[in-house]
Amino acid sequence: MINYIYNIPLAIGSNVINLFAHIGKISIFFYEIIFCTFTLPLYFKTFFNQVIKIGYNSLPVIGLTAFFTGSVLALQIYVGSSRFNAESIVASIVALGITRELGPVIAGLMLAGRVSASISAEIATMKVTEQLDALTTLSTNPIRYLVVPRVLAALLTLPILVLIADIIGIMGGFVVGTQSLGFIEQSYIKNTFDIIQLNDVISGLIKAAVFGFIVAFMGCYHGYNSTGGAQGVGRSTTKAVVSASILILASNYILTSLVFNS
């Protein structure tokens, strides 16, 4: 019984210390990324390679996801709106839903699954095989060489991916709306363009940039701090995907609240 009394505060204390140590590590990692981003040298070749890997290679996955999301959204909105005889709002809701919310969130989550995991596994494997140490002994800062190009590439390419996803998602809604739900093409297009404002698209792109940063940051952070051999690589990959996904959803709420308030 006495042991339990001692163990409870001990467990709470050690968890609190771990939490603060973790926050401290993340803050230092963040600071080092910012410092290396704004100081020379920048590794442009690595950056462009990452733009291809993170951006271009993610296009098919994100395009397909966006298409089916737009299609399903059109069907669901049609079912709901027909209960109020308001079927004409399908095109508007699909356009707003995709540009403001689903485009960036779905693309962010897909990128978290695809890119965060791959970045984390790659960097963790490099750590296990002493390649990170080798970089240091070859006068190269691993954060500058490995992390900064990945973070910048994800931050800059996700907005472009989301813009494409927006277009494909709306097209998905258009295809289902006109081919399956009986909407006239011209009126569907007119309803779409009448409702969309520049702010809707821009707010989605700002979200995308934040999500891109989160995806690459979490992948790099967990990979960089991986410990324990092959098992550690697996653990860090899982942590990267889970933490990136949760942070995307949480930051989505915060960003949406800020946009509402403004």
Partner 1 sequence: MTDLILKIEKLHKSFGEKVILNDFNINITRNTSQVIIGGSGTGKSVLLKCILGLIEPEQGIISYNNTPLNRDTRKEINFYDEIGMLFQGAALFDSLTVWENITFAIKSKRKSDLREIALDKIHKVGLDSTVLDLYPSELSGGMQKRVALARAIAKDPQLLFFDEPTTGLDPIMADVINNLINEIIDQVGATAITITHDMESAKKIADKISMLYKGSIIWSGDPGEIECSNNPYVDQFINGRSEGPIKINIKD
Choosing from 85, 139, 186, 262, the residue that interacts with partner 1 (CB under 8 A) is: 139
Under the criterion CB under 8 A, does residue 40 sit at the interface with partner 1?
A: no
Give the SS3 label for residue 38.
coil
109, 248 contact by CB (below 8 A): yes
Which residue's structure tokens are 């800020």?
A: 258
> Least distance in Å: CB of 50 to partner 1?
11
Residue 137 contacts partner 1 per CB under 8 A: yes
31 lies in the site for partner 1, by CB under 8 A: no
Judged by phi (left if over 0) then psi (alpha if -120 to 50, else beta), residue 40 lies in beta
By the rule CB under 8 A, 227 interacts with partner 1: no
**Selected binder of partner 1 within 19, 86, 134, 258 (CB under 8 A):** 134
138 near partner 1 (CB under 8 A):
yes
**Which residues ranging from 140 to 169 are in contact with partner 1 (CB under 8 A)?**
140
CB of 137 to partner 1, least distance (A): 4
Quick check: 16 binds partner 1 (CB under 8 A)? no
Helix (H, G, I), strand (E, B) or coil at 179: helix
CA 159 to chain centre: 10
Shortest Å distance, C-beta 12 to partner 1 = 21
Q: Please state the closest distance from residue 134 (CB atom) to partner 1, in A.
A: 4
Q: What is the CA radius of gyration of the chain?
A: 22
Q: Kindly determine how many residues on this chain lie close enough to bind partner 1 according to the rule CB under 8 A.
A: 11
Q: How far is the CB of 111 from partner 1 (least distance, A)?
A: 21
The tokens describing 183, both together, are 């909407």
Q: What is the contact mask toward partner 1 in residues 75 to 114, using x (rule: CB under 8 A)?
A: ----------------------------------------
Peptide linkage before 41 cis (omega within 30 of 0): yes
Give residue 90's identity as a one-letter amino acid code.
V
Structure tokens, 54:
């993170």
CA angle 90, 96, 99 (to 5 degrees): 130
C-alpha atoms less than 13 angstroms from C-alpha of 96 in its C-beta half-sphere? 10
